[in-house]
């Protein structure tokens, strides 16, 4: 998987995922498995995170933090060429 594509979208997806995981960890809730997930559903069943969930989320946060690069580096033409994301 490339570190950065032509406009840094991969890096941005990682940043967004990291923010969502941190918010979930802070709220301490998750959507109950088997809940009907439609965009029109307003009352999803939320249950508290288990210790196993917290460990998994913390591990994923650590992995994402190690993979995220600074935005200026992700958008750098030199970095993209070096990483194989395109050539000019």
DSSP class of 44: -
Angular region, 67: left φ>0, alpha ψ -120 to 50, beta rest: alpha
Q: Is the per-residue pLDDT at 18 higher than 60?
A: yes
Which letter does DSSP use for residue 50 in this model? P
Domain span at residue 59? 1-28+46-83
Does residue 18 belong to any structural domain of this protein?
Answer: yes
**Measuring CA to CA, which residue among 10, 32, 19 is closest to residue 61?**
19
Q: pLDDT tens across 62-81, in order?
A: 999 998 887 777 666 665 55
- Is 40 within the bounds of a domain? no
Kindly report the pTM of this predicted structure.
Answer: 0.67
2 belongs to a structural domain: yes
Largest Cα span, the chain:
51
Q: Is residue 36 part of a domain?
A: no
d(C-alpha 68, C-alpha 12), whole Å: 8
List CB contacts of 72: < 8 A, sequence separation 6 or more: none
What confidence tens digit (pLDDT) does each residue in 22-66 have? 999 999 998 877 655 555 555 568 889 999 999 999 999 999 999
DSSP structural state of residue 35: -
Question: Is 39 a domain residue?
Answer: no
Residue 88 included in any domain: no
């Amino acid at each position: 998987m490339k570190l950065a594509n032509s406009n840094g979208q991969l890096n941005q997806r990682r940043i967004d995922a990291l923010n969502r995981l941190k918010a979930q960890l802070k709220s301490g809730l998750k959507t109950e498995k088997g809940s009907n997930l439609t965009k029109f559903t307003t009352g999803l069943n939320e249950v508290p995170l288990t210790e196993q969930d917290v460990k998994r989320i913390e591990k994923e946060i650590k992995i994402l933090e190690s993979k995220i690069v600074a935005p200026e580096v992700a958008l750098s033409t030199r970095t993209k060429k070096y990483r194989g994301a395109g050539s000019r």
